Chains A and B, each alone.
Chain A
Amino acid sequence: MRMKIFQKIYTKLERITKATCVVRAENVGYEELATVDGRAAQVVKILGDEVTLQVFKGTEGIPTNAEVIFTGKPPTLKVGEDLAGRFFNAYGQPIDGGPELEGEEREIGGPSVNPVKRKQPSELIATGIAGIDLNNTLVTGQKIPFFADPDQPYNQVMAMVALSAKADKIILGGMGLLNDDFLFFRNVFENAGAIHRIISFVNTTEDPPVERLLIPDMVLTAAEFFAVDKHEKVLVLLTDMTLYADALSIVSNRMDQIPSKDSMPGSLYSDLARLYEKAVQFEDGGSITIVAVTTLSGGDITHAIPDNTGYITEGQLFLRRNTDIGKVIIDPFRSLSRLKNLVIGKKTRADHPQVMNAAIRLYADSVNARTKQENGFDLTSYDQRTLDFAKDYAEKLLAIDVNISTEKMLDIAWDLFASYFSIEEVAVKKEFSDLYWPSV
Chain B
Amino acid sequence: MTTTRSITKGKVAGIISNLVIVEADGPFAQNEICFILAGRTKLMAEVIKTERNKAYTQVFENTRGLCIGSEVEFSGHMLEATLGPGLLSGNYDGLMNNLSTMEGIFIRRGDYTPTLDTAGKWDFTPIVSDGDKVIAGDWIGEVTENSISHKIMVPFVLEGDLVVKKIVVSGSYTINDVVAVLTDQSGYEIPVTMTQKWPVKKSLTLYKEKPRPFTMMETGVRTMDILNPMLLGGTGFIPGPFGSGKTVLQQSISRQAEADIVIIAACGERANEVVDLFTEFPELDDPWTGRKLMERTIIIANTSNMPVAAREASMYSAMTLAEYYRSMGLKILLLADSTSRWAQALREMSNRLEELPGPDAFPMDLPSSISNFYSRAGYVYLNNGHTGSITFIGTVSPAGGNLKEPVTESTKKVARCFYALSQQRADSKRYPAIDPIDSYSKYLEYPEFQKTLATLISPDWVEKVDKLKNMLIRGKEAWEQINILGDDGVSVDFHITFWQSEVIDAILLQQDAFDEIDARTPLLRQKYMTDSVMDLLDFPFHFESFDEVQPFFKKIIGKYKQMNYSEFESKAFKDFEDEILSISEGSKMKS
Alpha-carbon gap, A267 to B272, bound state (A): 21
Interface residue ranges of A289-345 to B (CB < 8 Å)? 301-304, 307-308, 310-312, 314-316, 333-334, 336, 338-339, 341
Q: How far, in whole Å, are A316 and B241 apart by their CA atoms in the complex?
A: 13
Asked if B163 lies at the interface with its beta carbon under 8 angstroms from chain A, I say no
Interface: B331 (CB within 8 A)? no
Identify the interface centre among A48, A74, A259, A316: most chain B CB within 10 Å of its CB.
A48
Flag the segment in A162-170, A204-212, A353-361, A394-402 that touches B. Answer: A353-361
Instruction: Tell me if A192 counts as interface (CB < 8 A to partner B).
Output: no
- Report if B169 contacts A (CB, 8 A): no
Please determine whether A113 and B99 come into contact, CB atoms closer than 8 angstroms.
no
* Residue pair B275, A302 in contact (C-beta under 8 Å): no
Contacting pair A1 B65 (CB below 8 A): yes
Q: How far is the CB of B452 from chain A (nearest CB, A)?
A: 36
B67: contacting residue among A27, A267, A278, CB under 8 A: A27
A318 to chain B, nearest CB (A): 11
A59 → B minimal CB distance (Å) = 20
Interface size class of B (residues with CB under 8 A): 35 or more
> Is A191 interfacial (CB-CB < 8 Å)?
no
Beta-carbon contact of B67 and A380 below 8 Å: no
Interface presence of B347 (CB below 8 A) = yes
- Which residues of A have CB within 8 Å of B558? 424, 427
- Give Cα A29 to B100, complex, Å: 32
Q: Is the CB of A303 within 8 A of B400?
A: yes
The interface centre, meaning the residue of A282, A377, A378 with most chain B CB atoms within 10 A of its CB, is A377
Which B residue sits closest to A51, measured CB to CB? Answer: B68
- Please tell me which one of the listed residues B242, B305, B547, B565 contacts residue A112 in the complex, with CB atoms under 8 A apart: B305
Given the complex of chains A and B, what is the CA–CA distance between A112 and B565 in angstroms?
41
Query: Complex formed: what's the CA distance from A376 to B65 in Å?
Result: 68
Quick check: B483 and A371 within 8 Å, CB to CB?
yes
Q: How far is the CA of A226 from the CA of B65 in the complex (A)?
A: 26
Q: Is the CB of B99 within 8 A of A115?
A: yes
Q: How far apart sit A148 and B67, CA to CA, in the bound complex (Å)? A: 43
A116 touches which of B62, B99, B354 (Cβ 8 Å): B99
Asked if A261 is at the interface (CB within 8 A of a chain B CB), the reply is yes
Q: Which residues of B contact A336 (CB under 8 A)?
A: 243
Which residues of B lie under 8 Å from residue A339 when comparing CB positions?
272
Q: What chain A residues lie within 8 Å of B551 (beta carbons)?
A: 382, 424
Task: Give the distance in Å from the alpha carbon of A425 to the alpha carbon of B488 in the complex.
Answer: 22
Contact status A114-B304, CB under 8 Å: no
What residues on A are CB-neighbors of B557 within 8 Å? 427
Report if A15 contacts B (CB, 8 A): no
Q: When A47-B14, A380-B550 are in contact, do A333 and B360 touch as well, CB less than 8 Å?
A: no
Residues of chain B lying within 8 A (CB to CB) of residue A364: 427-429
* Contact partners of A273 in chain B: CB under 8 A: 268, 304-305
Q: Which of A107, A261, A381, A429 meets B360, CB within 8 Å?
A: A261
- Mask of A372-395 contacts with B, CB within 8 angstroms, 1/0: 100111101110000000000000
Knowing A341-B514, A378-B488, A427-B554, the reply to whether A115 touches B271 (Cβ < 8 A) is yes
Q: A119-B275, A314-B270 are in contact. List 11 more A-B contacts (CB 8 A).
A: A1-B64, A46-B15, A74-B64, A116-B99, A117-B104, A120-B280, A258-B357, A371-B483, A372-B483, A382-B550, A427-B554
B residues at A contact (CB < 8 Å)? 13-16, 21, 39, 62-69, 91, 99-100, 102, 104-109, 241-243, 247, 268, 270-272, 274-276, 278-280, 301, 303-306, 308, 341, 344, 347-348, 351, 354, 357, 360-361, 397, 399-402, 427-429, 483, 486-489, 514, 547, 550-551, 554-555, 557-558, 561-562, 565
- The contact sample of 12 A-B pairs, CB cut-off 8 A, is A74-B64, A114-B102, A114-B105, A116-B102, A117-B104, A120-B275, A260-B360, A277-B271, A280-B271, A302-B399, A304-B399, A311-B397
